[in-house]
Structures are given as structure tokens and as C-alpha cells.
Amino acid sequence: MKKVYWVLVMVLGFTISSCSSEQSLQQYFIASAENPNFMSFDLPSSLLNLEKAELSETQKKAASSLKKLNILAFQKKEHNTADYEVQKAAIKTILKSSDFSELMKMNTSFGKATIQLKGDDDTIDEIVIYGDNDEKGLILVRVLGDDMNPASFVQLIQAMEKSDFNGKGLEQLGNLIKG
């Protein structure tokens, strides 16, 4: 019975990954929210407590452009290794599409990560942060906003550093990252 399950998972995974060139990141988030291996969070920008921080006018403008964050996290375990590989490949295929441009690659304590942008030079539609670690799992974050631009992205990061966000409500995500 276990072999039948894994064969079905693999067939489903290959089907999803073969269609992923047409699948948008939004569609992927919706489909993955139903996958029991994923934890899914939608966080409003108000959770970051940016309105209470002492910000410059430029930082306030950048903070006001932020709407919400969509987070998907997959905790890898021995029994879901095949699904992890399928999901990792599907995400990378979506992010390699012409809709996204890579801003930077990083090596973090969690694992390898990339920051991608969707939009043009003047207006960013969304910022995508993706990281994976073959021992712990993967995380995918969509930062959505209005009239975001590359310059305000830097201001937004500085504003988030000044906020008193303590991660309340994200304990499960923290446990995933810790392993």
C-alpha cells in the first residue's frame, strides 16, 4: 500500500511539475495550501508593527506600500522526501519563468536562498524569497504591495528592522527553521 501511495505521489508530482511552466506562483500557493506537508500563513502588514516604529518619511511611504506576506513552509521528514523533491523542482521551475528576475542569491544558516522580483524597473508587483535546505525543508515568501519599487524595498527592510515585530504567531515557522 505504501508503494502505491508513493507511486501516486510521484505521478501527481510529475504532472504538476510538467504543467508548472504555465502555473503561476499564486496558483501554486493555492494548490499547496491543501498539501498536508505545507504550513501556510497569510500575514497582514500590520503584524509587523511598522506604524509604531520611528520611521523617516521615505520609510513610511515604503511601509505603506506593503500589503501582506504569503508564506509557505515545507518541513522535510523521512516519509515525505519524494514530495519535497517534487515541490522544490516545481517552485524552481516557476521562479525561472520570464515573469521573475533574480535580485540576489544568499547562503544563510537555514540554507540557500534567492530573492526574486516580479515587475519592471519602476514598479515591483511582488517580491519572492525562496530558500531550501535538503535536511530541513523549504520556505517560500511572497511580499505583496502597491507601488513598490526597488529603492523603496531597501527602505522597507530598514523600516522592518526598526519595528518591534517579535514573531508572535509564527512559532510553527520558527520550529521549522530550527529543525
34-47 confidence digits (pLDDT tens): 899 999 988 877 76
Is pTM beyond 0.75? Reply is no
Into how many domains does the chain fold?
A: 1
Q: What is the pLDDT of residue 84?
A: 96
Q: What domain range is 75 assigned to?
A: 2-178
Q: How open is the CA angle 176-177-178, to the nearest 5 degrees? A: 90
Inter-axis angle of helices 150-162 and 57-65, nearest 10? 100
Containing 37, the helix (H) or strand (E) segment is none
Q: What is the pLDDT of residue 132?
A: 94
Give pLDDT tens digits for 124-160.
888 899 999 999 999 999 988 777 776 666 666 666 6
Cell of 177: 527553521
Q: What is the pLDDT of residue 20?
A: 43
Gap between the Cα atoms of 127 and 145, Å rounded: 9
User: Is the distance from CB of 139 to CB of 71 less than 8 angstroms?
Assistant: yes
Collapsing DSSP states into helix, strand and coil, what is residue 147? strand
The ranges of the chain with pLDDT < 50 are 4, 7, 19-21, 166, 168-170, 176-177
Using alpha carbons, list the distances in angstroms from residue 141 to 23, 78, 109, 133.
17, 24, 17, 15
Q: What is the pLDDT of residue 48?
A: 66
SS3 content of the chain, % helix, strand, coil (to 5): 45, 30, 25
Length of the chain: 179
